[in-house]
């Protein structure tokens, strides 16, 4: 047997020619000269098999990955080491060099390929949703029978913004395309329903409140027959606030603190602390706002009772003594509230 290319008779033949002649045309890798990549101009997501994947990756990394994905190593190549280098950017085209070191049939080989990676810019589905103001949910922030206080709003906005920032790391639709301010409250439009739900949970955990969802059918996807819904979430703060007076299960209470889990109160009948769980908040009845607190005066005091004037008609009212009244003296001005006909000392 001899090599038909060079006449060499000493070596075994590979693909019908000797090793020398075989290696002359052998390539350790296959790679196209031109590679096209479609990336989102806003978030650098890459279009791959009809899907937008891998957002927020630097352009350089996208180019390297595109080359790596396009390389096919021949099976005769052993221990290949591949170095990639971007030589220069010409417009949207990256001129690159692929350096391959490997071993083929016990011969060390070094090859250099030139590859152009073209970055075609487009807008991914998430970014185009964002651009068009797309939203999946609307949080309608309201307070029952009153306006939302500025300090409540500050707290709520802080929670909303914090949640959006946190969610944005994993949810591309965690954004607020608009906030409307109808006179009843605030409407937060939220890109994704998932993030809107997170916001609601965080609001409830920190400031309580009630929420209710009502989905509305927006359109129908003709290809799948599935309905596209937009979810309106009503988030309501109760009419009562800290300092207000409420009734719950026959107890007359002053609200001292509101947290995500409880409405903390002082029972004005026995002066003990009493907590109402939020799930029972609808059973809480507002008796008076704290603006109805009136000044009165202490007219008498004994170990068992304290006497004050009814702020409306100046008749004397005897109240049972309580440790909390120990430091109050006769003649002192005090705050009082009249609830269901009964005067309470605060
Ligand atoms: Zn040969
Ligand atoms: Zn994008």
Q: Which of 313, 318, 311 is nearest to 294 (CA)?
A: 311
| Model confidence, pTM | 0.72
Ligand nearest the Cα atom of residue 10: 1
Ligand 1 (ion): residues with CB under 5 Å are 3, 5-6, 8, 18, 21
Question: Measured in Å, how far apart are the chain's first and last C-alpha atoms?
Answer: 114
pLDDT values of the chain reduced to their tens digit, one per residue, 346 residues: 788 888 888 778 888 899 999 999 999 999 999 999 999 999 999 999 889 988 888 999 999 999 999 999 999 999 999 999 999 999 999 999 999 999 999 999 999 999 999 999 999 999 999 999 999 999 999 999 999 989 899 999 999 999 999 999 899 899 999 999 999 999 999 999 999 999 999 999 999 899 999 999 888 777 777 778 899 999 999 999 999 999 999 999 999 998 888 999 999 999 999 999 988 988 999 999 999 999 999 999 999 999 999 999 999 999 999 888 889 999 999 999 999 999 999 9
Starting from the CA of residue 123, give the closest ligand.
2
Under 8 Å between Cβ of 183 and 141: no
Helix (H, G, I), strand (E, B) or coil at 21: helix
| Gap from CA of 123 to ligand 2 centroid (Å) | 6
Q: What is the distance in A from the centroid of ligand 2 to the CA of 39? A: 8
Separation CA 180–CA 218 (nearest Å) = 20
Q: Are 115 and 31 in contact (CB under 8 A)?
A: yes
Question: Which ligand lies nearest the alpha carbon of 55?
Answer: 2
- Give me ligand 1 centre to Cα 22, in Å: 7
Q: What is the rounded CA–CA span in Å between residue 204 and residue 261?
A: 8
Cα 220-223-225 angle, rounded to 5 deg: 45
The DSSP code for 124 is -
Is residue 177 within 8 A of residue 216, CB to CB? The reply is: no
**Which ligand is nearest the CA of 129, by number?**
2
Q: How far is the CA of 222 from the centre of ligand 2 (A)?
A: 25
The CATH code of the domain at 293-346 is: 2.40.50
Domain ranges of the chain: 19-125, 133-237, 293-346
Q: Coil, helix or strand for 207?
A: helix
Phi, psi of 270 (to 5 degrees): -115, 0
In this structure, which ligand is nearest to the CA of 39? 2
């Amino acid at each position: 047997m001899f090599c038909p290319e060079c006449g060499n008779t000493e070596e075994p033949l590979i693909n019908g020619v000797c090793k020398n002649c075989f290696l002359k045309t052998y390539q350790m890798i296959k790679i196209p000269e031109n590679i096209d990549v479609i990336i989102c101009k806003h978030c650098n997501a890459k279009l791959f098999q009809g899907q937008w994947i891998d957002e927020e990756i630097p352009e350089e990394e996208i180019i390297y990955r595109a080359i790596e994905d396009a390389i096919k190593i021949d099976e005769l190549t052993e221990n290949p080491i591949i170095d990639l280098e971007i030589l220069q950017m010409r417009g949207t085209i990256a001129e690159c060099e692929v350096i391959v070191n490997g071993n083929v049939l016990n011969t060390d080989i070094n090859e250099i390929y030139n590859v152009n990676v073209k970055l075609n810019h487009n807008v991914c589905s998430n970014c185009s949703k964002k651009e068009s103001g797309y939203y999946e949910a609307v949080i309608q922030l309201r307070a029952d029978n009153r306006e939302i206080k500025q300090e409540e709003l500050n707290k709520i906005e802080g929670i909303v913004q914090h949640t959006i920032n946190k969610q944005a790391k994993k949810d591309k639709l965690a954004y607020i395309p608009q906030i409307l301010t109808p006179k009843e409250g605030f409407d937060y439009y939220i890109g994704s329903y998932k993030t809107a739900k997170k916001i609601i949970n965080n609001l409830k955990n920190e400031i309580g409140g009630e929420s209710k969802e009502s989905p509305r059918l927006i359109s129908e996807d003709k290809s799948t027959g599935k309905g596209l819904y937009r979810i309106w979430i009503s988030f309501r703060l109760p009419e009562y606030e800290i300092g207000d007076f409420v009734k719950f299960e026959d107890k007359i209470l002053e609200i001292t603190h509101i947290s995500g889990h409880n409405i903390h109160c002082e029972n004005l009948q026995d002066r003990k602390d009493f907590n109402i769980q939020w799930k029972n908040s609808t059973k809480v009845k507002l008796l008076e706002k704290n603006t109805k607190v009136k000044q009165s005066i202490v007219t008498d005091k004994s170990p068992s009772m304290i006497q004050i004037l009814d702020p409306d008609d100046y008749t004397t009212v005897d109240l049972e003594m309580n440790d909390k009244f120990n430091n109050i003296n006769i003649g002192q001005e005090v705050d009082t509230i009249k609830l269901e006909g009964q005067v309470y000392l605060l």
